[in-house]
Structure formats: structure tokens, C-alpha cells
Amino acid sequence: MSKQLESHIPEGPVKDKWTKAKFENKLVNPANKRKFKVLVVGTGLAGASAAATLSELGYQVQSFCFQDSPRRAHSIAAQGGINAAKNYQGDGDSVHRLFYDTVKGGDFRSREANVHRLAEVSSNIVDQCVAQGVPFAREYGGLLDNRSFGGAQVSRTFYAKGQTGQQLLIGAYSALMKEVSTGSVELFTRREMLELVVIDGKARGIIVRNLITGGMETYMGDAVMLCTGGYGNVFYLSTNAMGSNVTATWRAHKKGAYFANPCYTQIHPTCIPVHGEYQSKLTLMSESLRNDGRVWVPEAKNDKRKASDIPEEERDYYLERKYPSFGNLVPRDIASRNAKYVCDEGKGVGATGLAVYLDFSDSIKRLGQKTIENRYGNLFDMYEQITGSSPYEEPMMIYPAVHYTMGGLWVDYNLMTSIPGLFCLGEANFSDHGANRLGASALMQGLSDGYFVAPYTLGNYLAQQDLAQVDATHPDAVKALSSAQERIDKLLAIKGERTVDDFHKELGLLLWDKCGMSRNEAGLKEALVKIPKIRDEFWENVNVMGSPGELNQTLEKAGRVADFLEFGELMVKDALERKESCGGHFREESQTEGGEALRDDENFAHVAAWEFNGVGEVPILHKEALIFENVALAQRSYK
Amino acid sequence: MSNAAKKINLNLKVWRQKNAEDKGYFDVYKAEGIDQDASFLEMLDVVNEGLSKQGKDPIAFDHDCREGICGMCGAVVNGHAHGPKAKTTLCQLHMRTFSNGQTLVIEPFRSRALPVQKDLIVDRSAFDRVIASGGFISVRTGSVQDANNIPVEKKSADLAFDAASCIGCAACVAACPNASAMLFVSAKVSHLALLPQGQPERSRRVLGMVEQMDTEGFGNCSNEYQCEAACPKGISVQNIARMNRDYAHARFTSED
């Protein structure tokens, strides 16, 4: 029953595709919109903006999140900024340039048509946010300020100190609460989605667990939108929030939604290094810091001197040396990999030797402490709070950490998955970033999908459906509910010896080691043998305390880790299958003589979309060819 | 990340409460061999891992981003909301703040308007309802002008940003002897009142939000400034003064 992948990209020149699609889309009559109910899962930038906009259009919306308030979603933690092709600085930016940079930055593994649409609506997003009262940084003349950001040669990034994500999310959240106040959005907080209800092949509902009462609840509707973020926490340590998980998309995958490019994960170059066994998460320092900070390590191996005692000529500013035209602003994957290389060579600094310096002393001399404080004050404070060391006085120590996942549920141009009626937005889908996401484009994509894409494409779907009336008593809904319940009962019945975190750490370390910054065939094959063993032991020997009918955080975590244990295997399979290096996926067997990533466009210029075929069974691979008509395929060079 | 992190032992007195109906009590735990570079929540993780291994119910506490920005975490530690360090959320409080052998009394944020749901977890949905009563600018997606058509004086923009940096954690309520939410509400009122975009609904907004705040059962402000002292983002009480002015103005001029 394997389906053909149909991306539904409109015909015609890339710059006209979205306009054409919007015109050709079927519309739902305004009076009929209120007859449709849409379930939106997740309240980050994608989810909150989609729920608010759909409600404004007249649809009935139910919005779900596992946190206590929609405002907590992890989009809030994004620091650096959001790109928009406004060309406010007059430095030569344009929709085409943003499109071009994003396709190239994604290492030619994203869809041109999607990326162009993203660049087209980028300006609307900033307009929308400003109108909502998002307090972006401004110049004295009252106009918006911009900065250049990770890998871009124009200043197109809008920002709000180091808390752009928070300010954009509060904007989307307030738009959502505006719709809650009119009664057109119903809000369900502290609900975690555990199953998708599919009826007659279409997504019609979800099963959630009420995290306060422990009760299972069924919600039915005409379409479901998953805006549930990425799967970075599969690695245990990541910059994601503790609750971020793959459960909603993985459950949908098990019901038939294809999972695309799961091996594409982004390792962010500027995070605070790991410092102990007890460590629960990694903290990102915005890469905007690389605008004014210089990355270096000592020339000599195992140099234990204090940074200030190492003279200039004994320092290796390795990014400036290897990549003179981009220097410290090379894309994330390159910055991360090079940090790994110098540390592997024994030049790393700090107690563990797994860190490099990010030094602001030159910028402080050049611009004054006041300017640096204005730009990065809160980031410096945060760093000092965590490490006890002040970046005004000593260089920061940084190391790469898992940050963002470019892979996700496969969606067509309309953001619909391979299950009709199931849409997937934001980080949870695979569509716009290819194999590597450029800085300041995650916020852009989340809001683009939610404010400006899904609200159009949903109508096109609904207008062509003749959906039967269904409710929670439908046999497929009842079955989904009982399967979610059985799973919970099973987890609680094991009463083994090991804690949930113990399994999660074991899985995470294995994946970081074998499927992290750099991968090879032998390591991936080894992981494929080990993961099923960890999973089997989990289901025999995990200890989940407490009962189902109460607030039970161990049970919540156990369910998420159980899904990571299945998902991790798919991630490794995908990495093994993709024998090329591209973007964040560095396959050791595929590199240039200079040690740079070597793509294989002949064999791998495709999206790998996996169809579920049973736990532990070989999944079915579907390939969607990627065609580049506007940006010529070229090896990325940032030298 | 100091090279020689010290390990310390602590005595914990932690509020345990099974659910909203339960009466609750303090239980005593030992936290041993805690790395001083660990965060407060990582210390609780270590204690919970130990409790789980002994077959005891771990301490429930809210947390998510652990970067001090989501506003999910929070507890009262030795009488201080988010612990003794200024401008710090609980997740960003590190154990180097404490000394070996110290006793820590850990309680939930308490207020009639924020009922305890379990152990250190409280229900803050009152804050969402306050925001839904006017804490927004009513613009429809797409029907807006170019962003640079709305210049904003830098000073106002900066003050609006400062007010908007509120993370909605409710420490201000926990710290206030009256359990007032004025700092939270005034931060949102000020953020939007300071911007040209917020003017059309300025009166309506402040009236609606204050009314909802009262309905939720939050107390009134008696200028104790405890809220500002506890606020992890350093939100100023000047916002409360601004809200009071706006409220008085709106009451006298509103025709609603």
C-alpha cells in the first residue's frame, strides 16, 4: 500500500509559484469556515501563529500544548534573530538573495519552491510582528535595526537583544490569546498528544493525556496540524527544552506519515561546554556572538596556560586562517566540525579539553565595553551565571551541541504529510532547510508556515473534501485511545531496576558518538546493533513509578524516551543510507582532499522519506528527487 | 566550569503535596555529593534519581528550557522566590551559591490565585486569562503596513522591550505579601502602552486586564517592592506606577 510521493509543486517560474498556488487553491466560503474544526498541536511559533490565523479566518480551532501555558514553547529560547529580505540597509538584499543563500546554506538538499516562498513571505512576517508590538531593536531615528548573522553577507536579521524568540513567541501567543478571548480558539494546556486518529485514511483526531489528572481524552476535527518541534533530545544532551520530544510526529509516522531526512541534525557551534555527569541540558550562546568574537585555540597541544598568558603569535584563529573570506562567520556545520577537529588534535581548552575560546577582547578594545554590552549584555550575564566567569574579562569557552533538526515529517508544498488532513509545520517538518539551517531562519520558517502558508493551503484541502461526521465513539478513535492507554499500563507494569534517564543517557551518548558531528559506516552499523538492545532492555527493565491517574512526570518522560528509542534507529538507518556528506551530515567516507564535506549530487540529490513498517522492521525508503533550476548546484565554499 | 568544582552536602526540607486536594507537608531529604557547578534543578534531578532508585515518588517540579527564559520553573527557597540570587530563575541558580551542610527549605509559589497541583507545581492559568483580557494588539494576520512605517523613539522602544522581557513565572506573586500580580500585569500593560501600535486599545486593555486580575483573586499592591526584588528579569515597579496612571485615566475617560 506504498504511496507515490507527490510534492504538488506548482508549475512555472519559481518566483511565480506561490502566487499561482494561492490563486489556484480552492477556497472555503467564509460562512462555511466555522463549520470546520482544526486541531493544532503545539504552541510554539508555528503552532501559535497557525492557531491564531486560522481562528481569524473563521475556523474553529482547538490548540494543545504540554506546558502550563502556550507561552512556554521552546521557540521562546531562540536568541539571535529572524531574517527578512527587507533590504532596509540598502546593502543589496532581495527575495532572490535570501532564497539563494538559504538554498546554498542548506547544501542543496531543500526544495527550491519551498525556500522561495519562505523568502517571499519573510517581509510580511516582520511587518506582522511589528504591528503586534514585538519590540525589535531600533536605531535613534526610530527605524528598525539589523545585523548580519551566521553565514550571511548582508544585514537582514531583525532582533530583540538576545531574546528574539521570546519576543516573537509572545507576539504569536498574544495573537492566540486574542482569539481565545473571542471563544474561537479553545485552549488545552498540559495535554500531551499520544496518538493520531486516522479514519478512512484521513487525519481526524488526536488522543491526548491530561498531564494533571492523568485522564485520556479524545478530540476530533476535520484536520490536524502538528507543530511540535524537533527531535534534538534524542541525543539526551541538547539545547532543546527538557520536554521537547518526538512523540507526536513519531506516533503520526507509525500511522502512515513518512519521516524525511531524520539524519539531518544541526550541531550548533556556540554552546557552553559539558561540565559534569549530572548535566541535564546544554545552553546555547547565540551565534550572533561570532560577529564580534574571535574563535581560537592555542597553537600548541595540551597548552594549560590561562588564555591571557598565551601571546598572540601562539594562538590559532583557525576559522580566520582556513576560511579567510567568511572567517568567524562560516555556517554552523563548518564552525562546529572545525571545533571538533582542533579538540581532537588535542588543542582544546578548559578542564575537559572539549572547548575552544570565543574572545571579545579585540572588539571591546575597538568598540568599547558599552557597545558590546548593548549587543550581548544578557548573553554575557547568562554565561557568567552558568560558568562563574565573565566574558568581559576572560574569553568564553564554547563547544558544539545538538541544536536543531532539519529532518521531520515529509510534507508536500502545501505542508500536508502523506496522511491526508495531517499537516506539519515549523521544525517538525523537513521542508525548508535542507541539510543545514542558516542562522535566523528557524523563526522565519515557523512563522511563515503558521501565519502565511498553512492558512491558505488548509482551505484548499478542506474545500475538496466530503468528510463524514465522526466523534470520539468512532471505532478507530476508540482503538487509538485504548492503544495509548495500554502502552501507559505496560510502562507502569514493568517495575524494573533502571531509571528512565539512565536509558535516555545511554541512547544519547551512543547517538552523539556514532551519529553526531561526524559519521562512518562502521560506527553507524554498530549503533544499529546496539539501539534495539537498549530498547529491548528498556521494555523489560525500566522503572516507572507512580500510577496512571495522576500528575506523573516519570511516566511522561518514559513515554517520550520509548519513542526516542524507536526513532533513533530510523535516524541511524537514514545516516547509513546517505553515503555522502552534506550540510550537517558529515560522512567520513565522503570528503575532499582538504577534509571538507563532499556531496554526491549524482546519487543523493533527493529527499529520503521513510515509511514505517513495524518496530525493528526495515522501513521502506521513498525518494523525492530535488531539482535545481534556479541555483546552480555547486560545492559550498566559504574559503 | 571552574577546574576544581567542589562537592557539597545539603539538607532539604521539601513541600510534598499529592494533588490540589491534599493538605501537604514538609519532608526531609539529604542531597549528597552535589557538584557546585550544577544548577539548582540539576541538584533536584540528582535527588529524584536517588528517590526513584529507592522506589519513592520523585519531587514534582515544573521546568522546561533550563535557560531562564521559558518561565516554567520556580520555587521558594529559604523564603526567596527563585532562591537568594538576584535576577536569577531557579534553573539558572547554581549550587556554588550554597555552602556545605546548609539546610534549604523548598516550597511552591503560594497564592490563592495559583493553587498547588502537586509538590512544587502550581496552576498559573490565571496569567493566561489576564492576557486574554486585553494583553494584545488586535491586528489580523496580513492586514498590516510596512514595518518601517511605524517609527518608534528608541527610548520608548527600549522601555517597551524591558517591560516585555517578563517571562510570566509568577515569582512576583509569590514574593508579594499580598500575593499581588501587579508587576506581571503592569509589565504587559506598559509594553504595549509605550508603543504607538498599542495606543488604539490602551484604555480598553488596562481596564480589562485589571478587572480580570481582581477576578482571579490576586491581592492589591501596597508598595512593598518585593516583586521587583524577586523578578528574575529585573522588571521595574515603575511599570506599576505607569499602569496605575493609565488605569485612573481610563476609568475617568472611558465611555464603556
Query: Are residues B173 and B231 both part of a single domain?
Result: yes
In a domain, B90, yes or no: yes
pLDDT grade for A469, boundaries at 50, 70 and 90: very high
For chain B, say whether A388 makes contact (Cβ under 8 Å): yes
Query: Residue B73 domain-assigned?
Result: yes
Interface of B with A in 100-159 (CB under 8 A): 117-118, 121, 123-125, 127-128, 131-142, 144-148, 150-154, 157
Q: Are residues B130 and B232 in the same domain?
A: yes
pLDDT in tens, B156-206: 999 999 999 999 999 999 999 999 999 999 999 999 999 999 999 999 999
Tell whether B181 and B138 lie within a shared domain.
yes
CA-nearest of A338, A5, A356, A62 to A219 is A62
Give the gap in angstroms from C-alpha A440 to the nearest C-alpha of chain B. 18
**Residues of chain A contacting B234 with CB distance shorter than 8 Å:** none
Rounded to the nearest angstrom, the minimum Cα separation between B128 and chain A is: 7
B54 → chain A, closest CA residue: A497
Q: Which residue of A has its CA nearest to B233?
A: A378
User: Number of folded domains in chain B?
Assistant: 2
Q: Which of A71, A117, A290, A332 is catalytic?
A: A332
Question: Is B1 part of any domain?
Answer: no
Chain A interface, mutation test: which of B51, B57, B125, B136, most A Cβ atoms within 10 Å? B136
Average pLDDT of A527-533?
A: 98
3-state secondary structure of A611: strand
Shared domain for B113 and B129, answered yes or no, is no
Q: Are residues B169 and B213 in the same domain?
A: yes
Residue B140 CB contacts under 8 Å (≥ 6 apart), including other chains: A56
Query: Rounded CA gap, A85 and A64, in Å?
Result: 32
How would residue A351 be classed by pLDDT, with cut points 50, 70 and 90? confident
Interface A:B, Cβ pairs < 8 A:
229
- Domain assignment present for residue B235? The answer is yes
Q: Who among B39, B136, B161 is closest to A174 (CB)?
A: B136
For residue B226, give the CATH number of its domain.
1.10.1060.10
B78 and B191 belong to one structural domain: no
Domain boundary among the residues B117, B139, B167 is at B117
What pLDDT does residue A1 have?
Answer: 42
Nearest-Cα distance to chain A for B124, in Å, is 7
Beta strand A396-405 with A315-316: parallel, antiparallel or unpaired? Answer: unpaired
B233 in the same domain as B137: yes
Average pLDDT for chain A: 95
Question: Biggest alpha carbon distance in chain B?
Answer: 66
| Contact (CB<8Å) B70/A241 | yes
C-alpha B60/C-alpha A512 separation (Å) is 29
Same domain, B113 and B195: no
Assigned domain for B2 exists: no
Same-domain check for residues B100 and B131:
no
Q: Would you say residue A222 has pLDDT above 60?
A: yes
Strands A216-220 and A408-409: unpaired
A332 is catalytic: yes
Set out the domains of chain A in order of their start, with CATH numbers. 268-403 (3.90.700.10), 485-625 (1.20.58.100)
Residue A180: pLDDT over 90: yes
Cell 517495575 identifies what position? A495
**Beta strand residue intervals within B25-127, DSSP E:** 25-35, 76-77, 80-81, 103-107, 116-118, 121-122
pLDDT at A346: 95
Instruction: Give the per-residue pLDDT at A377.
Output: 87
Q: Is residue B75 located within the same domain as residue B169? A: no
Are B129 and B64 found together in one domain? no
Average pLDDT of the residues in B107-133: 98
What is the residue range of B74's domain? 7-117
- Whether residue B167 is contained in a domain is answered as yes
Of B5, B18, B160, the CB nearest to A135: B160
Cβ(A565)–Cβ(A538) below 8 Å? yes
Q: CA-to-CA distance for A81 and A87, rounded, in angstroms?
A: 16
Strands (E), chain B: 7-16, 25-35, 76-77, 80-81, 103-107, 116-118, 121-122
Contact across the interface for A385 and B58, Cβ inside 8 Å: no
Per-residue confidence (pLDDT) for residue B2, from 0 to 100: 44
pLDDT of residue B95 exceeding 90? yes
- Do B113 and B131 reside in the same domain of the chain? no
Cross-chain Cβ contact B19/A550 below 8 Å:
yes
Domain boundary among B117, B152, B187: B117
In a domain, B30, yes or no: yes
Question: Which pTM does this prediction carry?
Answer: 0.96
Nearest residue in A to B95, CA atom: A386
Per the domain annotation, does B219 fall within a domain? Answer: yes
- Among B131, B190, B215, the residue to mutate for chain A (most A Cβ within 10 A): B131
Identify the domain boundary among B83, B117, B151.
Answer: B117
Q: Which bin fits B159, alpha (ψ -120 to 50), beta or left (φ > 0)?
A: alpha
